[in-house]
Amino acid sequence: MVSRYFYYILRRLFFNAHLRGLENLDSDEPVILVANHAGAFGPVSVITSLPIEIYPWVAHEVTDMKTAAPRIQAEFLEQELRLRPPLSVYLGKVIGRVCVGLMKDIGAIPVYQKSKKITSTVMRSLSLLQQGKNILVFAEDSTRKINDVLCEFCTGFIHVARLYYRTTKKAVQFIPVAVNRRIGRILVGAPIRFDGTIPFAREKQRLKEELESAVYSLYQAMSISSRSALPVTFMKRVREPAS
């Protein structure tokens, strides 16, 4: 309980955001929410802003006392807040301890990228969907940049939808969520439903592209709204130079 209070205090101090698009969360079935990361701002602001119960995918390092502190020190305290040792080391240990407790408190799902343990991530997510619970995924791969706003999405979470369809004969909905850190806003978009009737490889690519495009469009809509300009409805990708 202390961990949860700390999380909300942290949000008020650093990650407060205005949430719109709640009508798109009005569903009587479980959903998979897919958001851009926006540094530490995305996970904290989305988890503490959404009015529904969600189980977020999180990097497994922040669920373990041995690895939480150095990751928080490097990625949040030093990279985002520009703090330096020894203060960043001390605060990393303090926040790390609270973070691990919080991850347990909110039922976070550890994600083991590039490891056989990723199976446990997928199977736990499947079990939660079967219980009617909602999953939250921050899908960006920071090593594959699309443009100045977004990185390409990983697709591991789409396998959860395929297994859910196989076991329940129900097609889960994906809800795109855009986080605009610059203006402190979150916008929830219209659902995109999994189609289990077409080859999975094609469906996975379709969902990846549609979710990337939806999140980017939502992000742009917030930016445009904040400066009253004409809408931008397409996504410009960063292209590799010709070899």
> What is the CATH code for 12-60+107-227?
3.40.1130.10
pLDDT at 10 over 80: no
Which residue type, as a one-letter code, is found at position 210?
Answer: E
Compute φ and ψ for 197, nearest 5 degrees: -95, -5
Confidence of residue 93 (pLDDT cuts 50, 70, 90): very high
Dump the DSSP string for 164-208.
HHHHHS--PEEEEEEEETTTTEEEE---EE--TTS-HHHHHHHHH
Q: What is the pLDDT of residues 110-160, one digit of tens each?
A: 999 888 899 999 999 999 999 999 999 999 998 999 998 999 999 999 999
Instruction: Determine the average pLDDT of the residues in 10-27.
Output: 77
For residue 153, list its beta bridge partners. Answer: 140
Residue 119 CB burial class (10 angstroms; 0-12, 13-18, ≥19): exposed
Minimum mean pLDDT range among 32-46, 133-147, 228-242: 228-242
Could you give the CA distance from residue 44 to residue 231 in angstroms, rounded to a whole number?
Answer: 28
Nearest to 211 by CA among 35, 28, 53: 35
Instruction: Determine the average pLDDT of the residues in 88-103.
Output: 90
Confidence of residue 25 (pLDDT cuts 50, 70, 90): very high
Q: What is the pTM of this model?
A: 0.85
Q: What is the DSSP letter of 77?
A: I
Q: What is the pLDDT of residues 206-219, one digit of tens each?
A: 999 999 999 999 99
Q: Are 172 and 31 in contact (CB under 8 A)?
A: yes
pLDDT at 27 over 60: yes
pLDDT cut 90: percent of the chain above it: 63
What's the confidence (pLDDT) of residue 78?
A: 93
Report domain extents, the chain: 12-60+107-227
pLDDT at 177 over 90: yes
Minimum mean pLDDT range among 148-152, 155-159, 165-169, 237-241: 237-241
What's the confidence (pLDDT) of residue 43?
A: 81
